[in-house]
Amino acid sequence: MSAAIPIVGTTPDHQSGGTTESEPPGARRPYRRTAFAAAGWVLLVVGCYQLSEFGEMINLPAPDLLAGLVVGMALALTGLVTRPFPRQAGRASQALVGVVMGSYLDPDAVASVAGTALPLAAVTAATVAISVGVAAAMARFTPIPRTDATLGMVPGGSAAIVSCAEDLGADGRFVALAQYTRVGLVALTAPAVAWAVAGAGAPDEALAMPVPDLGRLVERPVHQIGAVVILAAVCLTGVVVGRRLRLPAPLLLGPMVVTALFSLTNAADGFSPDGPLKDMVFVAIGLEVGLRFTRSTVARSARLLPHLLAATVAMCAACAGLAWGLGAVMDVPFLDAYLATTPGGINAVLATAESTGTDVPLVSTVQALRLFVVVLAIPPIIRWLAPRSTR
């Protein structure tokens, strides 16, 4: 509980009973309060990371995001933490998430499916269109704003969507709830579908989780210090590029675009966050959103949960139909097409694909391309929808 004091900001100003003659009153207290607060936030993030490791052991979907979100909600609702997550740390988390998203575009996997670019592009566009259509129906028949519904239902890059929701004028709390409802449902159903199609025992290997390497901060830690320097440079360059190009959510999209260019051209690789650093970045995103919850927000979310579940099931069913069509056009097994088109939960989907012997390059490429397209396309779509939603 000692970490809660600097976070909440209730450290007594006159606990020592006064100051000495050699030290002006309050000369060092702002610095000390800042140091204590920073230490408190670090301890909170590390604690959530440890909790997420337990969640990973029991195969929870997106355990790092979920741990930060749940802990942040609990601290905010109980009043133990009354301050928002530090703004600069939140900005840094957005940039690092952008690097992670950009690194999903693997050039070898993209090259392996280059001959089927047209049907893959059509499936990607159809998936986005389905999510926008389901969101429009949910906004029409429920009190959910259309911007919130669209960002909540769109598949791919849940951490990226949640991190930039506020920048796009949406309620980040509802977006987080909707995104993690979808991710959880997909993570639970994908192994079950694989079990039904590929046979019993298929999901068991997907439950095996690697032991986290605490000395690994980037993808290729052989030259870890140099890779971390490159990572910082890519983040800073990406933010500048995003602002110069006037991209929506430049803190996220700028680093993502720069990283994708590096990845596709093989100019540099191995600098994307990995291991504990990647997990703690997602923990920070979850904490930032969770700390904004209030009791009224929780009550509203509970009332909207049935609508979210119905919309998510409808979208998953529609994407299963797309998988059937993709399998017929490309002459690939249904399980390969289903895992490639299932809406979200990329980590759980890839783990299931690897354990069932499906076409991993196809699954990873379709999922990564959709993630990349969604994160780039959704901000202008939201801006286009906003005036119509108002009218």
Lowest mean pLDDT across 102-106, 202-206, 297-301, 367-371:
202-206
pLDDT band at 235 (very low <50, low <70, confident <90, very high): very high
Give the pTM.
Answer: 0.67
pLDDT band at 234 (very low <50, low <70, confident <90, very high): very high
Q: What is the pLDDT of residue 62?
A: 67
Mean pLDDT confidence for 197-223: 57
pLDDT band at 240 (very low <50, low <70, confident <90, very high): very high
Q: What is the pLDDT of residue 272?
A: 86
Residue 6 has pLDDT above 60, yes or no: no
Do the beta carbons of residue 257 and residue 238 sit within 8 Å? yes
Q: What own/partner pairs with CB < 8 Å and gap ≥ 24 does 307-312 have?
A: 307/138, 307/141, 307/142, 307/144, 308/152, 308/177, 308/178, 308/181, 309/181, 309/185, 311/134, 311/135, 311/137, 311/138, 311/153, 312/153, 312/178, 312/181, 312/182, 312/185
- Who has greater pLDDT, 21 or 103? 103
State the average pLDDT for the chain: 77
Q: What is the pLDDT of residue 53?
A: 84
Q: Which residue ranges make up each domain of the chain?
A: 4-10+28-390
- Who has greater pLDDT, 259 or 119? 259
Q: What is the pLDDT of residue 250?
A: 83
- Render pLDDT for 95-126 as a digit per residue (tens, 0 to 9): 898 888 788 777 777 777 666 777 878 888 88
Q: What is the pLDDT of residue 319?
A: 86
